[in-house]
A and B are shown apart, each in its own frame.
Chain A
Amino acid sequence: MAGRKLPGISVPHRKHTAEKIPRRLPVPPMVCIPVSMHIGAPARPVVQVGDTVKVGQLIAEADGAMSSPVYSGVSGKVKKIDDLLMSAGQRVPAVVIETDGEQAGSGAFTAPCVSDFATFIGAVRQSGVVGLGGAGFPTAVKLDVADLSKLETIIVNGAECEPYITSDTRTMIDDAESVRGGVMLLREYMKAKDIVIAVEKNKPRCIKIFSEMFRDDGHVRVAALPAVYPQGAEKVLIYNTTGRLVPEGGLPIDIGVIVINCTTLAAIEKYIRTGTPLYEKCVTVDGSAVASPGNVIVPIGTPLRDVFAFCGGFSERPGKVLYGGPMMGIAVPDLEQTVLKNTNAVLALSAREAEPPEETACIRCGRCMARCPLRLSPAEIESAYRRNRPDELEALRVGLCMECGCCAYVCPANRHLVQTNKLSKALLRSYRAVKPAVKEESA
């Protein structure tokens, strides 16, 4: 157990929806499902315009190992296959389905046959599950460890440190049995001897459930962590539960650790137990502009406007709408964007709250450095970036930055530190790409 914890910040919790039992959204008239909701190669559509699809039907297959299949959460007819501009900037095909409201096919699944590690990984691959708490890294790739003897600890991430979001909390409460089943799967097929269920202390109910559930299990422990942002960030969580540090450019497995989000684990368990692939998500709908915040279960591909409408619409004009929490969430340009696999919350902030604060001169107060969990120096990174010095950026290890936003949150001058770090990383990448050539020249 690590003695020292990494620094972080206290952010307002705003977990208004923690006690809101998820309600199911009525089938929306139309869904638009992009075939790339994960890191890696986009999936390949296997349906054509005019096809009828059922709930749980494969609509795009994985393109290679670093990819993930996509399933339909509705029954209906494929209206078109659109070219969609995703918020990350790339264009991908998206399957647009006009629903018929029948939801034909739901419940009629057969569980996959899982008997060993290989079939377990195969099932995870087929389930369409990707990292649901974060960037959407294909879970099968993460779990497909080459040498299982190197794996020492699996951390089930239920920290949920972002303000507002409670969808993981609801998983831990409502699907506690699935989480338990998931832990058993990890024990059986990954041979994990040390499993940590990590929960922030502001979720005492979840801590109680799992403490009781695994009281007599010597291999599973519950870590109640301080509610300090970004407790749930992978590197921070690993350090705070095991005392180990993921090296720059490395993966958690390099130090014998795997982190899996609790909702991701529950989704895998559900697929292996019942054959239900990932086609719907529980999302937290909240924010100052939402009339009645809550948790909603929606088919993946549901346009955000339908999700907000179900929550009573807007109490005032939203100035900003986010995928995810206010610390790391992505702002979307309009409400036609749809719920993705890794969407755990959609927030609508009032125009007043969305107004970006005025940026003033850096006063060299050092707060950004003191609060960076990874002990980076954002003020110096900003200065190096402005002077166009990729060599300094390299020495400042900007590549480590996980874009958690602590630095920018505390900055009294409201500097755009995360934005600058992103740009700095890009600058450093292009510098590294040409550096070997420069070296050769000078040699």
Chain B
Amino acid sequence: MSRMIVSVSPHIRDKTTTAVIMRDVLIALFPALIAAILVFGWRSLLVTAVCVVSCMTGEWAFEKLTGRPNTVGDLSAAVTGVLLAYSLPAGIPVWQAVLGSLVAIAVVKQLFGGIGRNFANPAVTARIVMLLAFSETMTAWVIPDAVSGATPLAVLKGGDLQNLPGLLQMLLGVRGGCLGETGALALLAGGAYLLIRRVISWHTPAAFAGTVLLLTFLLGKQPVYQLMSGGLLLGAFFMATDYSTTPMTNSGRLIFGVGCGLITVLIRVWGNYPEGVSFSILMMNILTPYIARFTRQRPLGGAKL
């Protein structure tokens, strides 16, 4: 009689694995890619492909060199690649996109131990690094033909409200900005998909967007435009919900979202940059361990210690 496998329960598992989750995120990001190609042309596809390939190759190479198990198959590097590409202008030079991808994967993710162990969001951090290193190309917005010069946030900041793109243009993403952040409808559709698939919970995006809406409303700063400008929707649904770098409990996620919203508005209204989403997420990433400590869920019926 052949012996049988003896292992600790449970003996069945849910089919959802890390790769399944990441695949869902990629699916959710897809509509925004279509929007990007329509608005900014085929170069958006090129930049996205370059970032994805660089991130996945970078992860594979790093793991090969350090003798770690290969995790390219979990698709998390592909997600990082797409998110980074979406936060770049469509005209970014290819070599800069490659460099940014390697910073995201090698420095921000793998040096800290790989998936689940990095404290800062790789795409967000790499974008900030690129903003500092390549400030010229990083703010050289590709402006769709249909609209005038500056990005809506710059327009808002300048107070020149006459030149704001129409609401419909905002929804469709026909405005200046990073290639994947402009298509509000496409991003909302993706966000809805993630919520339905329960990949993310509503707490972070609702708290993030809600805080921005409320504060800009109180400050009289065009709340609806604020919501659809910059990388806010992309950030709220896809970056502030990154598992590794945000709190694991729903109460923690609420605090995280509120914090992101607060910092974003502070930067947008009083800071030197028109855009604050990336900075706010990175700052809240840094605060995450502390938030986690105060928002740990209380076990039911636990004895007093």
Contacts and interface: CB of A to CB of B under 8 A. Distances in A.
Interface of A: 6, 9, 11-12, 163, 235, 239, 245-250, 317-322, 326-335, 349, 353-357, 360-366, 369-370, 373-377, 379-380, 394-397, 399-400, 403, 405, 408-414, 416, 418-419, 422
Interface in B1-37: 1-14, 16-18, 20-21
A319 B4 contact: yes
Contacts of A335: 1
Interface centre among B74, B76, B248 (most CB of A within 10 A): B248
A248 B302 contact: yes
B4 A400 contact: no
A410 B297 CA distance: 18
Contact of A412 (B11, B16, B303): B16
A409 B298 contact: no
18 contacts: A6-B300, A248-B303, A250-B301, A320-B5, A322-B11, A326-B12, A329-B11, A333-B4, A356-B7, A360-B18, A361-B116, A363-B116, A366-B243, A369-B249, A373-B300, A374-B301, A396-B299, A410-B14
A332 B12 contact: no
B57 interface: no
B244 A376 contact: no
Nearest to B248: A366
A405 B305 contact: no
B65 to A, nearest CB: 18
Nearest to B253: A366
Interface of B: 1-14, 16-18, 20-21, 71, 74, 76, 114-117, 243-244, 247-250, 296-303, 305
A411 B14 CA distance: 8
A353 B2 CA distance: 17
Contacts of A377: 248, 296-297, 299
A332 B21 contact: no
B301 A361 contact: no
Contacts of A245: 300-301
Contacts of B250: 370
A362 B116 contact: yes
B95 to A, nearest CB: 31
A418 B299 contact: no
Interface pairs A-B: 7 shortest CB-CB: A366-B248, A405-B10, A248-B303, A397-B299, A397-B302, A419-B8, A326-B11
B16 A413 contact: no
Contacts of A405: 9-10
A120 to B, nearest CB: 30
Nearest to B12: A326
A402 B66 CA distance: 39
A174 B212 CA distance: 62
A224 to B, nearest CB: 23
Contacts of A11: 12
A326 B10 contact: yes
B241 to A, nearest CB: 10
B18 A409 contact: no
Given A361-B117, A363-B116, A354 B303 contact: no
